[in-house]
Structure 1
Amino acid sequence: MTLTKHWNYNEGEDLVLSNLKGLVHVNPSVRLIPSQKVVFNPHSDTSKKIAIISGGGAGHEPLHAGFVGDNLLDAAVSGTIFASPSTKQIMAALKVKADKDTGVIIVVKNYTGDIINFGLVSEKAKTEGYNVEMVIVSDDVAVGCEQNKMVGRRGIAGTALVHKVIGAAVNDSVKAYSVQDIRQLGENVNANLVTIAASLDRTSVPGKNEEIEYTKSNEAELGLGIHNEPGTRISPIPNIDDLVNRLFKLLVSPEDKDRHYVDFDLQNDDYILLINNIGGTSTLELNAIVEHVLSNLPFKKAPKRVLASDFVTSISSPGFSITLLNLTKMNYETEQILSYIDAPTNAPGWKPKSYDEQLWGRSEEFKYFESEKLQEVVRPTNVNLKIDHKSFEKALRGSLNNLLSQVSKIDHYDAIVGDGDCGDTLKAGATAILNHINKDNSCLQDVLDALWVITELVEDNMGGTSGGLYSIFLTALTQNLQKENELTVKTFADASRKAMYEGLFKYTKARVGGRTLVDVLQPFIDELYDTQDLKSALAKGKQGCEDTLKLSHAKFGRASYVNEDMFKLEGGIPDPGAVGLLAILQGFIENL
């Protein structure tokens, strides 16, 4: 069972109304009728153009109110969460924006409550002299054809495309569409529209903090609805490429007779691809999903447009949907429909930017940039710095293997006083270095070349603060060693001291006592500089690491935000970064 949590709002608060009030605070171009939950665009002149009105239950934001703006909706009305607005509310939206002479289009998703209430208002408005037409969106291929005969496909993410196309088309001064023309355009978009959704779980309604089990830990749902209607459970959670291919089969395969609604010529058809965040998918994952969707396209041609955002959500459901609009099969010129999609809007819910049409026509080779100039680097050289290749390799391998043996311990410490990935970060760097010298150890014949290669591998494979600290120090060490005439413990100590005080310390305020890797590095280098004794220096570094056990506060990094009591657990927690550096030094010196 999973506890679904929401913030505690005031008793009796209408969260839908609070949402709409918040929306108009951040969108100065719209107005709100609080009593009817109607958001409208006061600047659109519907005495000269057809009005576009839509609405439905709340919980699908930014649909519908977020799409009120230029080249989109003129008004939107919101019901309660997952429930249709009343006829009184819908009529208020119509009368605040519709003009009897120019007419009005009502866009509604194919759900019983919406069809009945918006349909009733449509008929009443006609008796009052309004020229009204209704466009019903039904794009969900999860609903089979047999069921479709009874209730029709549900309207889901494709609704956003219907809104955008007809919302821009009514401003087309060249075409000068009639109300009936716009209805036909909307119906033509819908007839060539297919959508399928997948999610790791469904959603929960704010105000109901309760334990609900929809899907188990290794389950996902395919074809779920946006009102918490269940889909088909699939287990285990599939690989993302396998899932995407399964979704495409439901969208375009003529073999699935029960769900084949739109014909696609996979070799020749032009189409728009829309990838919708159902509410709880992070931007990081949504962009990754876009990449996997495009990598598994069943079409020969690239899509004419790729639109990815949260268009039609189900509050916080952690899922996504794929929508395809077949442009070739429409009864309109492809460039004409694309111009409506590209038409700029100030509606905050329509997040795709308007780009130059020519940019969309670029070939794949122009999407990524690689240049030989980026790889042009000059490796440091100094023929005077000789090194025993075998001894150095033995010490380096001993150092890295000693570190790897302590990764679990380091991550354990970091899970208590940090973010739990210090060991993994160090492991990534150590593994990359070992893999490199396993394939080619020629760099180990030259200390500067070895340091240069190690620094490059650290930069490429170790993220976060520790990766940066190691890279800065190693880079500065290489620069200072390059100036020496020979490699001895003394010249190494001199170069190390300068690398720390004149290099590393320019970019970090971390010093001894700050609970960082510097608690090991600084005493080690200071002792080595004073004595030229590696074992004595190692003892000082070890003492510095042990001293971090007594430090009940971190001055730097994520650990600086940790409650002091956490540092006292298990008899005291040493700094993970200090433990890692000590393992590196200890392994190197003991094997040298």
Structure 2
Amino acid sequence: MSNRHFINDPQHLVLTSLQSTTLLNPGVALDAHNKIVYLRPGYGHASSSSNQRQKVSLISGGGSGHEPSFSSMVGRGLLSACVAGTIFASPSAEQVRTAIMGRVENNEPSSSSYSPEHGQQQGGEDAGGVLVVVMNYTGDVLNFGLAVEKAKAAGVNVEMVVVGDDVGVGRTKAGKVGRRGIAGTVLVQKIAGALAAQGRSLKEVTKVANLAAQNIVSVGASLEHVHVPGRRAEAEGAEFKVLKEGEVEIGMGIHNEQGSSREKGIGLPELVGKMLKQLLDRNDEDRAFVNVNSNEVVLLVNNLGGVSPLEMGGIVTEVVTQLAEQPYGIKPVRILSGTYMTSLNGLGFSISLLNVVNTDIGGPGMIDLLDYPSEATGWTAPISKLTWEEQRENKNTRENEVKSEEEVRPCGLTYDPQEAQKQLVAGLKAVIAAEPDVTKYDTMVGDGDCGIGLKRGAEAILSHLDSNPLTGDAAIDLAKIVTVVEQTMDGTSGALYGIFLNALVASLHTVGGGESDKKAADENAWAAALKLSCEALSKYTPARPGDRTLVDALYPFVDALEKTGDVKKAAEAAKQGAEGTKGMKAKLGRTVYIGGSGFEQVPDPGAWGLAKFFLGLAGIEKSDDSSAKQAKGSDDGWEEVTREAELP
């Protein structure tokens, strides 16, 4: 693992790398503040190779360190914009929202009809909009998903496709999280981008993108872990078990994630044979995700960043040779090789196979779409002379076109604002009072920041309510609170609450009749809206009751409220659900990797904090300012478990 770099400041490194895309392709611009690379106005939607105007914009992105994905995939015929995070970290939801709402053509409701019921633009199958393509990593799915929900609430026609093509980790180990996204993602982007460039509808582009994603399998192999610029090498070594001399890891992820096995002393032919078996063996029930049986198969051999072109040539020959032999007998109709998606300077490569299937849209097939011309420097097509000449006169950007979030419309569900604020304040104070316990629990089973995060959010909402008391319309009041939550709560919990609350705003409009048809926001109305929000949240996280997450308190509350119409009974159900997580082994989140026996002694911190909010809201649990300021306690048992959790 080399820890030497020409640029050791990771923030400077990411920004200057993004800036380089504008130097190499005059058709793109950079929003440096939000780390968004996007097509200059008038370029992507006026392709010289098509007489039909492009209706759909394509956005992708993720953590930096995978170049040329995603920034260098922005160009005519491919991505309309990419959103970059820091190295190996997801961009924020606000960055993504800015890209959707202000950096690409999105066909906002001002230019077509808008449906309050569905919260999105209407216009039939020919309606335009935005397709977001994201790899299957928790942070990416949650933050991009939150931005998608916010854009939908603002009336933008937007869909999201999640790509998980890695078979390095099988079904058993991956569990509910599913396959990781790796290099096969660029094939999905290229196919979707070409179809969008030909003027196809959002429905068609989304359908074909999903088809491509469902028919790709990939696996990687690496000789070394990579070192992130700016990190101490000893910290990297402590976090990952670095490969020994002569070892190769099969299935290693693009962020140094553990693969399926480590092999010692094997040559390239044996290594490729093991990788192809993981991709193609139908008898391997743990990894037989795609039956690659099409007459047309596309092969992508991707350089993870540190393999020489000379060696890549030898790898491609070995892969193609073994594919053609029995038992596979596969002769790819297209062979792509190069640096498409890296892991910084990773000394490894990946193999992707696309099983070409019929798109059933009455037009171009997947091969035609892969062959379709593009002007993205990360793809093989060159930048045209026309684009260079246009740049002399066209200096336009979208820097001044950021649009603030749409003013939330009344939903018609009304209540007594003074009484509601009193109940809400009680719930928030209960969360603050519970912070020491939540922090204690999270220190035993997680990274210790859950309690502080919940307290910070609760205090910010209380401060907001002091100067902005509730008005009496459920959607308007909640929308203002959502903004506070998004600004003060970060991490996975912040994204989960952000998605759920944004979906709840939209659900309140669905349940309510609008300003012209006012009705009481009673328990039944809230239960119906909460149920819809749970369904929306389930699209972005696999967490369900029994997985030891905040969902173990949320779902029982919603179910009990729907059945009984009694807030107190619902709050008690949430408490029981949270208490039931004690001894429950986590299936999602950081707790999965922590180890130790802390989970046997304490409930899930997030579920406990949420249950405390519901108990306070229902008036079951009282808390005053003094209790909210209590000091953290500890006991010998807690300290013992904490030490155990820290063992490697």
TM-score class, shorter: 0.5 to 0.7
1:178 alignment counterpart = 201
Structure 1 residues 330 and 262: CA distance shift in structure 2, 3 A? farther
The structure 1 residue matched to 2:164, chosen from 138, 142, 154, is: 138
Structure 1 residues 3 and 302: CA distance shift in structure 2, 3 A? closer
The structure 2 residue matched to 1:63, chosen from 63, 66, 69, is: 69
**Matching of residue 247 in structure 1 with residue 275 in structure 2:** yes
1:257 alignment counterpart = 285
1:40 alignment counterpart = 38
Q: CA deviation at 1:271?
A: 0.5
- Code of the aligned partner of 2:253: G
Which whole-Å CA distance do the structure 1 matches of 2:345 and 2:356 have between them? 31
The structure 2 residue matched to 1:315, chosen from 335, 344, 358, is: 344
Which whole-Å CA distance do the structure 1 matches of 2:44 and 2:249 have between them? 41
TM-score normalised per structure 2: 0.51
Note the alpha carbon deviations across 1:123-157, whole angstroms, 9 max, x for none: 11011110001011010011212344410110100
Which whole-Å CA distance do the structure 1 matches of 2:76 and 2:230 have between them? 34
Q: Secondary structure at the residue paired with 2:197? A: coil
Q: Larger deviation: 227-236 or 186-195? A: 227-236
Structure 1 residues 269 and 330: CA distance shift in structure 2, 3 A? farther
Note the alpha carbon deviations across 1:100-123, whole angstroms, 9 max, x for none: 252000000000001111111111
Asked if the contact 2:64/2:85 (under 8 Å) is kept, the reply is yes
Structure 1 residues 145 and 79: CA distance shift in structure 2, 3 A? same
- Code of the aligned partner of 2:217: V
Note the alpha carbon deviations across 1:559-587, whole angstroms, 9 max, x for none: xxxxxxxxxxxxxxxxxxxxxxxxxxxxx
Q: CA deviation at 1:230?
A: 1.9
2:6 alignment counterpart = 7
Structure 1 residues 34 and 6: CA distance shift in structure 2, 3 A? same
Which whole-Å CA distance do the structure 2 matches of 1:281 and 1:198 have between them? 12
Structure 1 residues 237 and 164: CA distance shift in structure 2, 3 A? farther
Q: Secondary structure at the residue paired with 2:18? A: helix
1:98 alignment counterpart = 105
Query: Which has the greater radius of gyration?
Result: 1
Q: CA deviation at 1:23?
A: 2.3
Q: Secondary structure at the residue paired with 1:263? A: coil
1:193 alignment counterpart = 216
Report 1:182-221 matches (<5 A).
182-208=205-231, 210-211=233-234, 212=237, 214-221=242-249
2:427 alignment counterpart = none
Which whole-Å CA distance do the structure 2 matches of 1:334 and 1:256 have between them? 35
Report 1:437-452 matches (<5 A).
none
TM superposition outliers: structure 1 runs of 4+ over 3 Å: 328-335
CA RMSD of aligned residues (A): 2.2
Q: CA deviation at 1:353?
A: 7.6
Asked if the contact 1:327/1:334 (under 8 Å) is kept, the reply is no
The structure 2 residue matched to 1:75, chosen from 73, 76, 81, is: 81
Q: Secondary structure at the residue paired with 1:235? A: strand
Q: CA deviation at 1:81?
A: 0.5
2:59 alignment counterpart = 53
Which whole-Å CA distance do the structure 2 matches of 1:237 and 1:38 have between them? 44
- Code of the aligned partner of 2:380: K
Q: CA deviation at 1:301?
A: 4.1
Which whole-Å CA distance do the structure 2 matches of 1:4 and 1:289 have between them? 26
Q: CA deviation at 1:91?
A: 1.2
Which whole-Å CA distance do the structure 2 matches of 1:117 and 1:238 have between them? 41
Q: Percent identity?
A: 40
Q: CA deviation at 1:171?
A: 2.0
Q: Secondary structure at the residue paired with 2:337? A: strand
Which whole-Å CA distance do the structure 1 matches of 2:306 and 2:242 have between them? 15
Structure 1 residues 307 and 333: CA distance shift in structure 2, 3 A? farther
Asked if the contact 1:275/1:320 (under 8 Å) is kept, the reply is yes
Q: CA deviation at 1:347?
A: 0.6
Higher relative contact order (CA 8 A, sep 6+): 2
Q: CA deviation at 1:21?
A: 1.3
Structure 1 residues 3 and 287: CA distance shift in structure 2, 3 A? closer
Note the alpha carbon deviations across 1:485-539, whole angstroms, 9 max, x for none: xxxxxxxxxxxxxxxxxxxxxxxxxxxxxxxxxxxxxxxxxxxxxxxxxxxxxxx
**Matching of residue 296 in structure 1 with residue 337 in structure 2:** no
Which whole-Å CA distance do the structure 2 matches of 1:8 and 1:167 have between them? 33
**Matching of residue 86 in structure 1 with residue 112 in structure 2:** no
TM-score normalised per structure 1: 0.56
Q: CA deviation at 1:4?
A: 2.2
Structure 1 residues 227 and 332: CA distance shift in structure 2, 3 A? farther
Structure 1 residues 80 and 113: CA distance shift in structure 2, 3 A? same
1:18 alignment counterpart = 16
1:124 alignment counterpart = 150
Asked if the contact 1:198/1:224 (under 8 Å) is kept, the reply is yes
Asked if the contact 1:188/1:331 (under 8 Å) is kept, the reply is no
Q: Secondary structure at the residue paired with 2:75? A: coil
Asked if the contact 1:6/1:207 (under 8 Å) is kept, the reply is no
Which whole-Å CA distance do the structure 2 matches of 1:329 and 1:260 have between them? 21
Q: Secondary structure at the residue paired with 1:155? A: coil
Q: CA deviation at 1:330?
A: 6.0
Asked if the contact 1:16/1:81 (under 8 Å) is kept, the reply is yes
Which whole-Å CA distance do the structure 2 matches of 1:291 and 1:106 have between them? 35
Which whole-Å CA distance do the structure 2 matches of 1:333 and 1:272 have between them? 21
Asked if the contact 1:63/1:311 (under 8 Å) is kept, the reply is yes
2:178 alignment counterpart = 152
Count of paired positions: 347
Structure 1 residues 13 and 51: CA distance shift in structure 2, 3 A? closer
- Code of the aligned partner of 1:304: V
Q: CA deviation at 1:14?
A: 2.7
Structure 1 residues 334 and 127: CA distance shift in structure 2, 3 A? closer
Asked if the contact 1:50/1:103 (under 8 Å) is kept, the reply is yes
Which whole-Å CA distance do the structure 1 matches of 2:197 and 2:2 have between them? 48
Q: Secondary structure at the residue paired with 1:146? A: helix
Note the alpha carbon deviations across 1:64-122, whole angstroms, 9 max, x for none: 11100011000001000111101111111112103225200000000000111111111
Which whole-Å CA distance do the structure 2 matches of 1:258 and 1:9 have between them? 40
Report 1:518-533 matches (<5 A).
none
- Code of the aligned partner of 1:311: Y
Structure 1 residues 19 and 3: CA distance shift in structure 2, 3 A? closer
**Matching of residue 223 in structure 1 with residue 251 in structure 2:** yes
Which whole-Å CA distance do the structure 2 matches of 1:68 and 1:30 have between them? 7
Q: Secondary structure at the residue paired with 2:302? A: strand
**Matching of residue 277 in structure 1 with residue 303 in structure 2:** yes
Asked if the contact 2:68/2:341 (under 8 Å) is kept, the reply is yes
- Code of the aligned partner of 1:129: G
